[in-house]
Structure 1
Amino acid sequence: MKMKILFSRVDPFSEPGGFDMGNFSIESEGKKISSQGNSRNLMMIYIAISDLIFGVLGLQGARGTYNFVGADSSFSLNFRSKGNELEISHNKGSKIICDKIDFLNGLCSGVDDFLASGNELKMSDSAYSDLHAAVEKLKQVRSGGY
């Protein structure tokens, strides 16, 4: 199953900064969960990416839950681990069920695409080290099998 995860900044033409506001969405098999469409759902996107990665990687066991809340946002997602599957739900009832590895692959691709599209932080930015530690951990876990 193809999983697509997209990240964006509100102002993609400004110099990227660790506290920039943005959105993200998850798409799979015609279903979509997104923070877009409500200004209350905007989040500090770089901090949110780090939180999302570390939170989902904490679900390596067969069972467990993780509640993601976008930094400085009203947007939240619930992740429930069920063996090799991940159930992702939004408080409005939207639900996506996928293989964990598909989610990790989509997450890795989404972050890579986001950063490669002119959104890379300067090394001196306060959010840089957390973001890159999270991305490195994601790539290690993904290459070792989830």
Structure 2
Amino acid sequence: MPSFAFSVDDDPPHSGFSLGHLDVSGSDGTATTRGHVPDERLMVYLAAAQLLWDVRVLVDAGRGTRKFVGTDSSFTLVFSLKKAEVETRHGRQAIDVSTVDDFRAAVLDGARGLYELGSAEVEEDRKPLDDLAAAIAKYESWHRHPP
């Protein structure tokens, strides 16, 4: 099962538009926004909401490929759904192949972890954090009642 770990890179006070990182790991490899030129940090709260949306679109389609591009970043992940398994790739590098259910749960765990951090840390421009909360609620409802 892959892991999606968001973190905020900005010094406090954090805002809903704070930049940060996404670290993705799986059984076949890892990918990160860290240490790239040009800088691949992303607006983490907006990116987490976008990731939830992209996963829903892919799984609802039942097959195919979906590309996630980090908000305000050039960092990309490609998800391919085939025969009830999702392959996660970063460029040419395979990161993970897992069941749809495990993949869906991993994405939700990553978004929830970021939201918990943001709830305690965001002091300014809370709208993106509120949008992430709404995206998580919608995803949880969808996750409980899959297509």
TM interval, shorter chain, is 0.7 to 0.9
- Deviation track 1:76-111 (CA, whole Å, cap 9, x = no partner) reads 111111131111111142332111211121122222
User: How many matched pairs?
Assistant: 143
Structure 2 equivalent of residue 137 of structure 1: 138
The alignment-based identity, stated in percent, is 26
Cα distance in structure 1, aligned partners of 2:91 and 2:7: 21
Residues 44/97 of structure 1: CA separation in 2 closer, same or farther (3 Å cut): same
TM-score (normalizing by structure 2): 0.84
Q: Does 1:75 align with 2:80?
A: no
- State whether residues 123 and 129 of structure 1, in contact with CA within 8 Å, keep that contact through their aligned partners in structure 2: no
TM-score (normalizing by structure 1): 0.84
Where structure 2 has 5 or more consecutive residues not aligned to the other structure, the ranges are none
1:62-101 pair list within 5 angstroms: 62-101=62-101
Structure 2 equivalent of residue 14 of structure 1: 12
Partner amino acid, structure 1, of 2:81: S
Between the two structures, name the one with larger relative contact order (CA 8 Å, sep ≥ 6): 2
- State whether residues 7 and 114 of structure 2, in contact with CA within 8 Å, keep that contact through their aligned partners in structure 1: yes
- Deviation track 1:32-66 (CA, whole Å, cap 9, x = no partner) reads 12222226210111111111110111012321221
Where structure 1 has 5 or more consecutive residues not aligned to the other structure, the ranges are none
Deviation at 1:72, TM superposition (A): 0.9
Structure 2 equivalent of residue 58 of structure 1: 57
Superposition CA RMSD, Å? 2.2
